[in-house]
Structure 1
Amino acid sequence: MYSESQSINLDEIPINEVICHLQWNKYYRVFGRWKCSNCGKPWHSAYTWISLQKFIVLDQKLNFDEYCMQKCKKCEEKECDDKGIILFYKSLDKGDSSVHKRRLCAKCLSGEECIQSGDYLGKKK
């Protein structure tokens, strides 16, 4: 909390823009770096869904109930129940591919269809 004598420098406050089509229930879609808790294999995913609250406050520390779990493809072939751990996440950038991969998207797999509002995923550069 700021007192009346303190001034707030708005340039120091990080601002994340919430884009409607990237929100689902209490989650928000981001780019994430994962690691398998069993074999240690790392992977990247643009279909990472984290707690919307964590996205808004830019808190990198996530508990297991604050993101949709992903499984390691290598261990999944061995019928292993080990899940991935998020190492890092950030806002999505507009990528080269405009193809939405429904088989990778937790929102689509839940029965809800992702409808993209334009081609805007965040700050365009």
Structure 2
Amino acid sequence: MLARLVIASIMALSASAAMAQSPQWYFYKEVSGIEVYYAVRINPDEARVSWKCVNKTGDAVSCSIGAGQNKVYRCVRDGTPVGFTEALGERATAPARGEYAFPSESACKGKGASQVEPYGVQISIER
């Protein structure tokens, strides 16, 4: 049991470290002076998606990816849609004139996706 827990922890750290290696961030949208970006890393059996909120204002804000709803991702293989997956929404504080990057999460597992896109993901900012 302990060995499984250690292995799971190492795998989670490895996935987070993989996203930390200079991912390419794509602009998603700006809401109330907060720029929201996402990054995707395609692995053989799944994709890893991470989000970040860049706060251009002088006040700390709560940045919600999903705005109380699940995040939905469209999975595409070689230009052909192969389905959708969902992940829980998440919220964190982005400091004044700073940023917060959320840990990466799994998307499109087992779909052989070569591309993953946010699909109508809502953003909410609270001051």
- In proportion to residue count, which structure has more strand? 2
Larger proportion of helix: 1
| Same-fold call, TM cutoff 0.5 | no
Bigger radius of gyration: 1
TM-score between both structures, scaled by the size of structure 1: 0.26
